[in-house]
Amino acid sequence: MDIRSQVSMVFHLDKCIGCHTCSIACKNIWTDRKGTEYMWWNNVETKPGTGYPTKWEDQDKYQGGWEKRNGKLGLRSTGKGRVVFNLFHNPHQPGLDDYYEPWTYKYEDLFNAPEGDDQPTARPISMVTGKHIDIEAGPNWDDDLSGSPVYAENDPNLSALTPEQRAQLSAIERLVFFYFPRICNHCLNPACVASCPSGALYKRGEDGVVLIDQKRCRGWRSCIAACPYKKSYYNWSTGKSEKCILCFPRIETGQAPACFHSCVGRIRYLGVLLYDADRIDEIAGRPDNELVDAHRELIVDPNDPAIIKAARENGIQDDVIRSAQKSPVYKFVKEWKIALPPHIEFRTLPMLFYVPPMLPVMSSFDGKTVKNMSEGLFPDFDKARAPIEYLGKLFGAGNNSKVRYVLKKQMAIRTYRRAVTVGDVEMEHAEHMLREADCTVEEAEAIYKLTSLCTFEDRFVIPPAHREEAIEMVADPLEYKQSVGFGFKEEVKRGL
Amino acid sequence: MAQNTNILDYFNLFWFAVLPYVALFTFLLVTIQRYRRRGFTYSSLSSQFLENKIHFWGLVPFHYGILTILFGHFLGFLIPRQVILWNNDPLRLHILEVTAFIGGIFALVGLLNIVIRRLVDPRAKVVTSTADWVVISILLFQVGTGLLVAVFNSWGSSWYAASISPYFWSLLAFSPDIAFVTPMPLLVKLHIISAYFLILLFPFTRLVHALVVPNPYLWRKPQLVRWYWDRRKIRTPEFKVKRK
Ligand code: SF4
Ligand code: SF4
């Protein structure tokens, strides 16, 4: 047993309003520099849709993540034998056009244009070449299903659906979509780290944040191809790759990452999970339909005395263990089982989990009353507007029962709360539903509370980073007083 | 007449006995210093992200070609005897010469594509510096003269091993014997001099990426974890005592 701690996340998709505040918060802090204009470490996609970069989930196109070859896990895009050949030209690397060409507008034309009959316009200017461009794509070009025949219908997850289901999805009356905010998952079996020829990528031992050592990175671009979520990006100006750093300077000082902090829908939760690093290989190699459960198995109980002992032996501080015991992520993922990893079949073991959206409007309105459309206790999830196969492909590696379990539980809790607050549903009926959904009244209340009435402190249980101890181990803090810091202090400038 | 010979001697001395040392020491000192002081700039500076079509036809043939050629030059330098022995058989000599020539053609085609790419693609242009053009020009000259030598002064693999290799060794022994190179045809001399310029400029340009090829990857474990302090040690009583 090798217990480690990991700062983990939950995004509750039912609460996301698609406002992109998170993306802007991140952009303003981290990616407003030359060479990073096109990067969105946090981006919000509309699903169904092709996302950013376009069709990132299609691994036949991008070759991201792991695959099993002769019973062994290997990266799809690279490996020891292939690494040298991929250096000169990486065959699976996305280009700028797979993302979009970043632009600004020539605002000065609005002021400098000579007097005339026409209103002056600010023409779009490429932020790469500085020349005029026709905008053909953007980071959320298909926001709210705009251009669906081109974008939504090319969503790789739709392959799980029958032609009828697909046709229904885009029928006017049944149109359905939800938002899918994405950041780096800070995976337990990160493909980006395993692919880096220079060993520049690493996982922080203390909290599991995955980082790129800017000084070691040589711009071989392997991580960009290897990450199945396309969350490692190439800075074309400095010639180095960059990725989400989970705002570690904020976490270390007890603040939530900027995208979490600014989230308008309050959909984001952050907390520590303890896991057994010895089992990563075995778990990542399980068959697709077992992966969701196996991943959960890897996460261990922070209240178990044996685990606490092993954690302490591994140097995990007591206050980090206490933080793990209060972790909202642990509740969502492990206790309530209503948060699922995205595309676990890529086998990187992502540590960002999603509560799938209760998209289906499972009733109809006949002009007078709202009617439940199904005969049984629960609405018929298989006939829901967003087919369960679709969500199953996204969050269950094709194992739809995992998604059905979550939707059932959420539905039962909703009915139960309706019985409590509105009273137009029989309590007995609601409790029956809860039992069917593997949920107690206490659990329902707890989920309700953490979903709807959560405070900052409920949502973000940030472990103490103990950087002061780390720093004291290597240097005398006073020595660095009034200087830049403890990292390297070289100018971050592109080489010749 | 005698005067002229003298000047030529000085020229030869400069190009073949002074320049190589200037180049070599600059190379050593600057690469090390640059790595220590401005290590951040050691990068492939790839522009594949910005232009992904011609890239393949430039970078792939160039690298395979130039590496083959470099390897050949290296062999001739290190084990000249064996190379000459190998060349005793005309068939083997031809195999070697043809391989080298194809390598040269690959490098040349790749370079030309690189030039075209950086000239025509507006995005690739953005990340093309003056230093890049200097490097590309010298490389073109280097590969071009190399190919011409192969055409006009054939069986280079043999005479290189026989005459140039001992010259290099004399350089390394700090007693340069330029008598090996002075009788060489002008093309060969130009090829050697431009090679010295490449070495001289190497540390100041993007060429340094060749020094940081990813060898550790081949034997390291796939996953890397970095700890900011030894997590086991920090829990030991000694440490706690030390902190007080
Ligand atoms: S999401 Fe991608 S970049 Fe982030 S840790 Fe996982 S593999 Fe690496
Ligand atoms: S800020 Fe929150 S609610 Fe808004 S798009 Fe981002 S994740 Fe969704």
B170-204 tens-digit pLDDT = 999 999 999 999 889 999 999 999 999 999 999 99
Tell me, what's the pLDDT at B221? 86
Give me the residue from A89, A238, A467 closest to B60, CB to CB: A89
Ligand 2 centroid to residue A33 C-alpha, Å: 23
Tell me, what's the pLDDT at A366? 58
Closest residue by Cα to residue A44 from A136, A140, A141, A148: A140
Task: Quick: pLDDT tens for B29-85.
Answer: 999 999 998 999 999 999 999 999 999 999 999 999 999 999 999 999 999 999 999
3-state helix, strand, coil in chain A (%, to 5): 40, 15, 45
Q: Is A22 in the pocket of ligand 2 (CB under 6 A)?
A: yes
Q: Per the CB < 8 Å rule, is A470 touching B229?
A: yes
Task: Quick: pLDDT tens for B98-153.
Answer: 999 999 999 999 999 999 999 999 999 999 999 999 999 999 999 999 999 999 98
Q: Does A168 touch chain B (CB under 8 A)?
A: no
Q: Is A212 in the pocket of ligand 1 (CB under 6 A)?
A: no
Residue B30, C-beta contacts closer than 8 angstroms, at least 6 positions apart = B203, B204
Residues of chain A with pLDDT under 70: 148, 172-174, 359-376, 382-384, 468-493
How, if at all, do strands A103-105 and A124-126 pair?
antiparallel
Question: How many residues are there in chain A?
Answer: 496
Nearest CA in chain B to A199: B217
Chain A residues touching B235 at Cβ < 8 A: 312-313, 315
Average pLDDT of the residues in B2-15: 77
Q: Per the CB < 8 Å rule, is A239 touching B45?
A: yes
Task: Name which of A85, A90, A236 to mutate to probe chain B: the one with the most chain B Cβ atoms within 10 A of its Cβ.
Answer: A236
Ligand 2 centroid to residue A229 C-alpha, Å: 19
Task: Name which of A89, A93, A469 to mutate to probe chain B: the one with the most chain B Cβ atoms within 10 A of its Cβ.
Answer: A89
CATH 3.40.190.10 fits A1-95+139-360, yes or no: no
Whether B3 has a pLDDT exceeding 60, the answer reads no
Give me the residue from A197, A472, A496 closest to B214, CB to CB: A197
Tell me, what's the pLDDT at B173? 94
Ligand 2 centroid to residue A143 C-alpha, Å: 13
Ligand 2, from A9, A10, A14, A19: best to mutate by most atoms within 8 Å of Cβ?
A19
CA B94 to chain centre: 25
Tell me, what's the pLDDT at B111? 97
Tell me, what's the pLDDT at A480? 55
> How does residue B241 score in pLDDT terms, banded at 50, 70 and 90?
very low
Q: Which of ligand 2's atoms lies nearest the C-alpha of A23?
A: 6
User: Do A145 and A152 form a contact (C-beta atoms < 8 A)?
Assistant: yes
Q: Under CATH, what is the fold of the domain B2-243?
A: Fumarate Reductase Cytochrome B subunit (1.20.950)
Q: Does A129 touch chain B (CB under 8 A)?
A: yes
The C-alpha angle A340, A364, A437, rounded to 5 degrees, equals 35
Task: Give this prediction's pTM.
Answer: 0.90
From chain B residues 39-78, the ones with a CB under 8 A of any chain A CB are 39-52, 55-56, 59-60, 62-64
Q: Is A25 in the pocket of ligand 2 (CB under 6 A)?
A: no
Tell me, what's the pLDDT at B237? 43
Question: Whose alpha carbon is nearest atom 4 of ligand 1?
Answer: A184
Q: Per the CB < 8 Å rule, is A89 touching B59?
A: yes
Q: Per the CB < 8 Å rule, is B47 touching A494?
A: no
Question: How many residues are there in chain B?
Answer: 244
Chain A residues touching B51 at Cβ < 8 A: 95
Domain spans of chain B?
A: 2-243
Task: Quick: pLDDT tens for B216-238.
Answer: 888 888 898 888 765 555 544 44
Ligand 1 centroid to residue B222 C-alpha, Å: 14
- DSSP class of residue A173 equals G
Q: Does B225 touch chain A (CB under 8 A)?
A: yes
SS3 track for chain B: CHHHHHHHHHHHHHHHHHHHHHHHHHHHHHHHHHHHHCHHHCCCCCCCCCCCCHHHHHHHHHHHHHHHHHHHHHHHHHCHHHHHHHHCCHHHHHHHHHHHHHHHHHHHHHHHHHHHHHHHCHHHHHCCCHHHHHHHHHHHHHHHHHHHHHHHCCCHHHHHHHHHHHHHHHHHCCCCCHHHCCCCCHHHHHHHHHHHHHHHHHHHCHHHHHHHCCHHHHCCCCCCEECCCCCCHHHCHHHHHHHC
Q: Is A263 in the pocket of ligand 2 (CB under 6 A)?
A: yes
User: Do A263 and A218 form a contact (C-beta atoms < 8 A)?
Assistant: no
Q: Which of ligand 2's atoms lies nearest the C-alpha of A259?
A: 1
Task: Name which of B31, B33, B42, B46 to mutate to probe chain A: the one with the most chain A Cβ atoms within 10 A of its Cβ.
Answer: B46
Tell me, what's the pLDDT at B157? 85
Q: Which residue has the tokens 């009959």?
A: A117
User: Do A226 and A78 form a contact (C-beta atoms < 8 A)?
Assistant: yes
Q: Per the CB < 8 Å rule, is A199 touching B44?
A: no
Phi/psi at B241 (5° precision): -65, -45
Cα(A280)–Cα(A291) distance, integer angstroms: 12
Ligand 1 centroid to residue A65 C-alpha, Å: 9
How, if at all, do strands A240-243 and A3-12 pair?
unpaired
Tell me, what's the pLDDT at A173? 66
